[in-house]
Amino acid sequence: MEEPPAVKCFQHCDRQTNILCFMLPHVCPLCGEDTLNTESRIPPYQIPSPFVNARQHACSVVIRPTTGTFLRDYENNSNLHVGVTNSRGDVYDFDEEGIHVNNALWENCIAIPIIQTTNTVCQNWDTDLVLMSQNVSWSKKRYNEVNYNCFDFVISFLRHVLPKWKIHENKTRFCEEFILPHTAKVAKYIGIYRNVQKHGYVCQNVS
């Protein structure tokens, strides 16, 4: 999958205005000066992307849109798909085809770390994840888009492997308290990215 361009930020002539872009505009949109031959107040720097490759995030809950990608397709009402990574970053997820173990569609996802990746803890985590994925409870015959889906798999695993951790069985509350805080931050980045993509740059007041 081709990496999306990084969003960069700089200040050219006004300390109250950030200019966001993929590539430095030749002319400052504020003062009209040539940006290549004049000094910027703050040189361009890259804004960290909230999207990561699941393979690089062990023992985490990972999230992506059910269809498409965050940057291209995600809207506030889009369905999300969730999975769990093992200590090597392999993703276990559950859908209408049953359990999958792969990384093919998880190169630009959100990762929420769950545990400290020490050897003993990771070994137990991996063992439990394999055992749970092999349980007939997660066969494709049991899948239901609303009542028995990827969220049920993730919640069930977390409740099993972390019995003292307060994980809500109710999917709505789980999403509200565990997933939405992360997707809300992502939505801001997506908004900036799409505006830059559409207009070439975005001027933003310094808050």
pLDDT of the residue at 167: 67
The pTM (predicted TM-score) of the whole model is: 0.89
- The answer to the question of residue 153 being in a domain is no
Question: Which of 147, 181, 198 marks a domain boundary?
Answer: 147
pLDDT of the residue at 1: 59
Please check the confidence at residue 168 and state whether its pLDDT lies above 80.
Answer: no
Please check the confidence at residue 184 and state whether its pLDDT lies above 90.
Answer: no
State which residues form the domain around 104.
54-147
Number of CB atoms found within 10 A of residue 86's CB: 20
**Mean pLDDT (whole number) for 64-69:** 94
Number of domains in the chain: 2
Please check the confidence at residue 2 and state whether its pLDDT lies above 80.
Answer: no
**Mean pLDDT (whole number) for 95-120:** 88
- The answer to the question of residue 74 being in a domain is yes
Please check the confidence at residue 121 and state whether its pLDDT lies above 90.
Answer: no
The chain-wide mean pLDDT, for the chain, equals 92
- The answer to the question of residue 160 being in a domain is no
- The answer to the question of residue 33 being in a domain is yes
Please check the confidence at residue 70 and state whether its pLDDT lies above 80.
Answer: yes
134 shares a domain with 59: yes
107 shares a domain with 69: yes
- The answer to the question of residue 116 being in a domain is yes
Residue of higher predicted confidence among 178 and 12: 12
**Mean pLDDT (whole number) for 52-71:** 95
Encoded amino acid at 92, one letter? Y
114 shares a domain with 64: yes
- The answer to the question of residue 159 being in a domain is no
